[in-house]
Each structure stands twice: as C-alpha cells, then as structure tokens.
C-alpha cells in the first residue's frame, strides 16, 4: 500500500465503541521502566484515555490500514502519560518501530510505561523521579535507534541531536562550512521532528535564526487546534487539578497571582476566577496586559503582587519571573507553583539555598522555613504542576494535540526529501479537519456559508 494515498481530507469519524486493544510483544527487551508488574493498572488508564480520544482513534484506524510508517523508526520524548500511550500506539499501528522517553523526569506514569512495554511492544525508557543523568541516558537510548522521525515536548531530542552533530562537525574537515545532517550521518535518513510545546518552539526558532538548525521541524504547538485548546483549556484545568491534589486548599476567596497571560496563563486565570479566586495577572507584554485588564483582572507588577498574593502560578516560558527577592517578599503561608515547561520560572534553587529548613508535608508539597521564621510552600519542586502533581491535560484535549502530532509524522513521510532545515507550521487544512472531526465527535452542529455569502465575502464590489 502506498503511504501517500492517506489524506487527512478523507478522514471520517469512526463509529463509536470500545477500542480493541491488541497485545504486543517487546521481544527485544528494549526498555527501562520501573516495574512491568504495573502493566495491568496502566493498561486500564490507557484504555480509558483512548475512549476520550475519538479523533486520534480515527487516525489510528487509518494508520493501521495503510501502514504509512512501515520500515520507519519514530523516537519520541514526551510526557509518558496515558494520552501519549495512545499516540504511540497509533504510530505503532501505522507500522513504525516506536521508542519513547520522558520529556520531564517527574511526569512519567510508571504504570503506563509498563503497559506500553508489556502489552503493546513499545520500547519505553522512563522512570518516574529519574535523576538528570538517567534522563539524558534515556534520551540517548532513543537516539541510538536512529529514528527517522522524532517528536519532542521541549526540544530535548532535537537539541541533543544538534549537540552530537556539533561534536561530529568539529571532527569533519569541511572547508569551515557546516555540513548538513544527511552528509554527516549517512546511514541516518532524518525526515523531520515535530514539537509539542511553546518553549520547544521558541528554542527551535532561535536555532533557525542562528543558522544552527540542521533538520526540518514542524511546530505542532502553532496549530490552532493545539495551542488554543491544549494550552488554554488543558493547562487551565489541569493546573488547578495539580494544585488541589498537592494541597487540598480552598480557591474561593484566595488571592491568586498568575504570571503570564499567554495561552496557558489566560486559561489558568480564567479557571481560577471560575473557582471564586481573586486573580491578579503579571505580564510584560503591554497588549496581553491590556487584554487581562479588559478581561476584568487586576494587573500588577510582581514586586507588588508578591506582597499580597496567597497562591502564585507561573506560566511564561521565561526564567526567574519570580526572583528570590520576590519570594522573600511573600507573606508566610504563600504557595508557589509553576506550569511553564522548565523549572526555572521561579528561583527554586535560590530558595533551597536561602531557606533555614525544608520538609515535605504531602506529596508534591514542600515547606521552606525562611531565616525570619516565615514559611513558604512550593509545589512539585517548581516543575509543571499539572503533570507532576496531577495527570496532565484531560484526554479530550490531548486528542486534538496528538491528532496533530500523528498527522505531522505523516506530513514528514509524504514530504520525504522535500523539506528544508526550517521550522514549519502544519497546513491550515489539517487544523480545519481536526476541528471538524472534534465537533462531530462532540455532536456539535455548526453552520456553513451559503453560496451567496461566499460570493459576498470574496467580492469587493458589493457593500452598500
Ligand atoms: P505564550 O507565549 O502564549 O505566553 C507566555 C506569556 O508570558 C507571554 O504573554 C509573555 O509576555 C509572558 N511573559 C514572559 N516573560 C514574563 C515575565 N517575566 N513576567 C510576566 N509575564 C511574562 O506561551 P504559552 O503557550 O502560554 O506557554 C507558557 C509556558 O507553558 C511555556 O513554557 C510552554 O511550553 C508551557 N506549557 C505548559 C503546558 C503544561 O502542560 N503545563 C502546556 C502547554 C504549554
């Protein structure tokens, strides 16, 4: 079967019903997970998530029929959750050999990792709580398979490939010019890499600008059916879920400070308000700050908000948004959490050094005793609170994100040899199709333009 005859336009919603999960085998024993005995628990979680992912289920069905990835290896560095498991299974159904490692040492669901290995024959290298050395060893284990397509959440696979490339390049005499990855890694045909999150896209665009990017990249985050939903509604809800699981505090009446009013920040601020919190937004972009004001939020500087906030949440993709100075300004009892990609959004390391004492009170809730006797509370060591203290986004929203990821992989196959070392967006037609399928799955009907309206909207003569 020719892989190119798979077209997103042809996708129709599959009939509802329980997805049949087939047992696989991991004959190569290629994995590093916590405990394979956790597989049956993970399998149930994967099944439940799969039931909430109708669009991905449909794509998976098509992949299974047409095997667009036959003979290809796909390496993914994503949060190892039950939703990711369904994406890995879709790629596997499409004929790919799939290798998965974690994109954060604390977000791995060990039972899911176990089930992927034991039940589905997918190689996973991820253990919840792994140290930094193991985290990078797992990334290396995936890259050692020379995947033709990679998927990142935070650009760790791509940046590791480039670091390795740089070492190789320095060993190759090339008249002072950078060699293309295809020239250097002759036996490694690299079709492209897709990126899931804002921070990863920022890193990749910076590489492109510096002329350092050596491979084609698709910024899945930039698709409307990704960031408008995943970042906003997914992060909004799951950040609250993480905070509540870690603390069980009451949000009603709480003074909450949200740093960043981008897609994630506005989701968090809106949901916090819905729970009855009094929300202040901290922003550096004047347009976003103005939007926050007109959306009815108090907008303030962090130096001032630090003095009255009771719960702080960062979601900026930036570093040191809450400095040690501002952590020190907080009232005793203040709680600080981060939902941005890296654990650098508030100065956790500075707080660790400055504090007189620290102790774990509950899972993911750490108390810091400051020299003046104040106590400040930090969730999940400053790592993405929704994935560390809860389970990440609900499957319904990951359905759209991972439909885009699956179709990005297909995009690389269909454009084999044609893409340049650039950061691309997925075609608009994929966004439209994913949105249509999602609406249909949700049984939402919406209008379409009449012929007369289409004509009117594309003409300049009419108007009076
Ligand atoms: P975005 O670019 O839409 O918004 C970020 C906002 O933060 C911008 O408005 C920017 O002006 C603001 N900002 C930057 N520096 C700031 C500072 N010093 N003080 C106050 N505001 C500042 O990005 P998006 O999509 O909202 O993502 C934010 C972060 O969340 C990224 O690291 C992204 O990778 C991550 N993310 C996390 C998810 C999760 O599951 N927790 C899901 C999706 C994204």
Average pLDDT over residues 252-274: 98
Average pLDDT over residues 361-370: 98
Measured distance CA(237)–CA(230) in Å, rounded:
10
Average pLDDT over residues 1-19: 44
- pLDDT of residue 179 exceeding 70: no
Nearest protein CA to atom 9 of ligand 1, as residue? 262
- pLDDT of residue 312 exceeding 50: yes
Q: In this structure, are residues 422 and 216 in contact, taking their beta carbons and an 8 Å threshold? A: yes
- At which of 371, 388, 405 does a domain end? 388
For residue 423, report the distance from its CA to the centre of ligand 1, in Å. 19
- At which of 346, 372, 388 does a domain end? 388
Residue 461's pLDDT band (cuts 50, 70, 90): confident
**What domain count does the chain have?**
2
> What's the confidence (pLDDT) of residue 186?
61
Nearest protein CA to atom 30 of ligand 1, as residue? 340
Same-domain check for residues 408 and 376? no
Q: In this structure, are residues 421 and 251 in contact, taking their beta carbons and an 8 Å threshold? A: no
Average pLDDT over residues 298-325: 98
> What's the confidence (pLDDT) of residue 189?
86
Whether 289 maps to a domain, the answer reads: yes
> What's the confidence (pLDDT) of residue 164?
78
Measured distance CA(114)–CA(320) in Å, rounded:
36
- pLDDT of residue 439 exceeding 50: yes
Same-domain check for residues 241 and 317? yes
Same-domain check for residues 369 and 428? no
Q: How do residues 47-106 score in pLDDT, each as one tens digit? A: 999 999 999 999 999 999 999 999 999 999 999 999 999 999 999 999 999 999 999 999
Whether 460 maps to a domain, the answer reads: no
> What's the confidence (pLDDT) of residue 171?
61
> What's the confidence (pLDDT) of residue 25?
40
Q: What is the CATH number of the domain that holds 369?
A: 3.40.50.720
Whether 172 maps to a domain, the answer reads: yes
What are residue 173's phi and psi, to 5 degrees? -80, 120
Atom number in ligand 1 closest to CA 316: 7
Q: In this structure, are residues 31 and 125 in contact, taking their beta carbons and an 8 Å threshold? A: yes
DSSP 222: G
SS in 3 state form for 9-72? HHCCCCCCCCCCCCCCCCCCCCCECCCHHHHHHHHHHHHHHHHCCHHHHHHHHHHHHHCCCCCC
Same-domain check for residues 17 and 122? yes
Q: How do residues 229-251 score in pLDDT, each as one tens digit? A: 999 999 999 999 999 999 999 99
- H-run or E-run covering 116: helix 110-120
> What's the confidence (pLDDT) of residue 415?
96
Closest CA to 262 of 282, 240, 278: 282
> What's the confidence (pLDDT) of residue 176?
52
From 78, 206, 340, give the residue whose CB has the most ligand 1 atoms within 8 Å, as the site to mutate. Answer: 340
Measured distance CA(101)–CA(123) in Å, rounded:
9
- At which of 388, 409, 425 does a domain end? 388
Q: pLDDT > 90: what percent of the chain?
A: 85
Q: Which residues line ligand 1 (CB under 6 A)?
A: 197-199, 227, 231, 235, 259-265, 282-285, 288, 315-318, 321, 339-341, 384, 386-387
pTM listed for this prediction = 0.90
Nearest protein CA to atom 43 of ligand 1, as residue? 231
Atom number in ligand 1 closest to CA 341: 32
Closest CA to 49 of 8, 82, 91, 2: 82
- pLDDT of residue 288 exceeding 90: yes
Same-domain check for residues 360 and 414? no
Measured distance CA(220)–CA(411) in Å, rounded:
11
Whole-angstrom CA distances from 28 to 31, 99, 216, 300 are 9, 12, 30, 56
Higher-confidence residue: 434 or 162?
A: 434
Which pair of tokens denotes residue 317?
A: 């993709």
Atom number in ligand 1 closest to CA 386: 41
DSSP 384: B
Q: What is the CATH number of the domain that holds 34?
A: 3.40.50.1480
Same-domain check for residues 197 and 264? no
Same-domain check for residues 145 and 116? yes
Whether 265 maps to a domain, the answer reads: yes
How would you class 6 by CB atoms within 10 Å of its CB: exposed for 0-12, middle for 13-18, buried for 19 or more? buried
Atom number in ligand 1 closest to CA 154: 34
Atom number in ligand 1 closest to CA 321: 18
- pLDDT of residue 23 exceeding 90: no
Same-domain check for residues 204 and 174? yes
Quote the mean pLDDT of the chain. 91
Measured distance CA(372)–CA(111) in Å, rounded:
43
Whether 1 maps to a domain, the answer reads: no
Domain that holds residue 134: 8-226+393-441
Same-domain check for residues 217 and 317? no
Residue 172's pLDDT band (cuts 50, 70, 90): low
- pLDDT of residue 28 exceeding 70: no
Half-sphere exposure of 316 toward its Cβ, with a 13 Å CA cutoff? 23
How would you class 372 by CB atoms within 10 Å of its CB: exposed for 0-12, middle for 13-18, buried for 19 or more? exposed
Which pair of tokens denotes residue 153?
A: 């959440």
Whether 267 maps to a domain, the answer reads: yes
For residue 231, report the distance from its CA to the centre of ligand 1, in Å. 9
Same-domain check for residues 30 and 132? yes
Atom number in ligand 1 closest to CA 384: 41
From 106, 202, 221, 231, give the residue whose CB has the most ligand 1 atoms within 8 Å, as the site to mutate. Answer: 231
User: Which residues touch 155 (CB under 8 Å, ≥6 apart)?
Assistant: 195, 199, 200, 203, 204
From 77, 197, 260, give the residue whose CB has the most ligand 1 atoms within 8 Å, as the site to mutate. Answer: 260
User: Which residues touch 85 (CB under 8 Å, ≥6 apart)?
Assistant: 42, 45, 46, 49, 112, 115, 116, 120, 122
Nearest protein CA to atom 23 of ligand 1, as residue? 262
Q: pLDDT > 70: what percent of the chain?
A: 89
For residue 210, report the distance from its CA to the centre of ligand 1, in Å. 22
For residue 317, report the distance from its CA to the centre of ligand 1, in Å. 4
Same-domain check for residues 380 and 420? no
> What's the confidence (pLDDT) of residue 296?
98
Q: Is 239 helix (H, G, I), strand (E, B) or coil?
A: helix
Whether 462 maps to a domain, the answer reads: no
Higher-confidence residue: 18 or 364?
A: 364
Whether 459 maps to a domain, the answer reads: no
| Alpha carbon 381 to its chain's center | 19
The mean-pLDDT minimum among 21-25, 66-70, 96-100, 216-220 falls in 21-25
Same-domain check for residues 213 and 268? no
The dihedral formed by the CA atoms of 144, 145, 148 and 150, expressed in degrees to the nearest 10: -70
> What's the confidence (pLDDT) of residue 24?
41
Measured distance CA(162)–CA(182) in Å, rounded:
13
Residue 32's pLDDT band (cuts 50, 70, 90): very high
For residue 436, report the distance from its CA to the centre of ligand 1, in Å. 27
């Amino acid at each position: 079967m020719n892989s190119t005859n798979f077209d997103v336009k042809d996708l129709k919603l599959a009939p509802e019903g329980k997805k049949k999960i087939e047992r696989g085998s991991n004959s190569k024993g290629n994995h590093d997970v916590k405990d394979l005995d956790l597989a049956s628990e993970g399998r149930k979680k994967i099944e439940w998530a799969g039931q909430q992912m109708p669009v991905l289920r449909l794509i998976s069905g098509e992949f299974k029929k047409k095997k667009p990835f036959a003979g290809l290896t796909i390496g993914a560095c994503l949060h190892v959750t039950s939703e990711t498991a369904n994406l890995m299974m879709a790629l596997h159904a499409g004929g790919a050999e799939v290798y998965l490692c974690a994109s954060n040492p604390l977000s791995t669901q060990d039972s899911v990792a176990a089930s992927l290995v034991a039940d589905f024959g997918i190689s996973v290298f991820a253990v919840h709580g792994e140290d930094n050395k193991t985290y990078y060893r797992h990334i290396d284990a995936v890259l050692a398979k020379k995947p033709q397509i990679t998927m990142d959440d935070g650009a760790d696979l791509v940046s590791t490939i480039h670091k390795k490339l740089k070492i190789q390049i320095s060993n190759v005499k090339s008249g002072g010019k950078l060699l293309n990855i295809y020239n250097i890694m002759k036996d490694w045909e690299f079709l492209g890499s897709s990126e899931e999150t804002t921070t990863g896209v920022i890193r990749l665009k910076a590489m492109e600008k510096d002329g350092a990017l050596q491979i084609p990249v698709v910024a899945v985050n930039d698709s409307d059916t990704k960031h408008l939903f995943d970042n906003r509604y997914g992060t909004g809800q799951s950040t609250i879920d993480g905070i509540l699981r870690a603390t069980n505090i009451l949000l009603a009446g709480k003074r909450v400070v949200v740093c960043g009013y981008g897609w994630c920040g506005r989701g968090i601020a809106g949901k916090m308000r819905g729970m009855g919190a009094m929300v202040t937004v901290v922003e550096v972009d004047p347009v976003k700050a103005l939007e926050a004001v007109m959306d009815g939020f108090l907008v303030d500087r962090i130096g001032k908000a630090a003095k009255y906030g009771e719960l702080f949440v960062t979601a900026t993709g930036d570093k040191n948004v809450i400095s040690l100075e501002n952590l020190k300004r907080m009232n005793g009892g203040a709680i600080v959490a981060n939902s941005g990609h890296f654990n650098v959004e508030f100065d956790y390391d500075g707080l660790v050094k400055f504090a007189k004492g620290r102790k774990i009170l509950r899972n993911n809730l750490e108390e810091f005793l400051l020299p003046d006797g104040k106590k400040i509370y930090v969730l999940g060591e400053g790592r993405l609170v929704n994935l560390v203290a809860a389970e990440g986004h609900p499957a319904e929203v990951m359905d759209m994100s991972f439909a885009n990821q699956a179709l990005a992989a297909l995009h690389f196959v269909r454009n084999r040899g044609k893409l340049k070392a650039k950061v691309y967006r997925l075609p608009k037609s994929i966004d439209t199709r994913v949105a249509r399928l999602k609406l249909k799955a949700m049984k939402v009907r919406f209008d379409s333009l009449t012929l007369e309206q289409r004509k009117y909207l594309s003409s300049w003569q009419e108007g009076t």
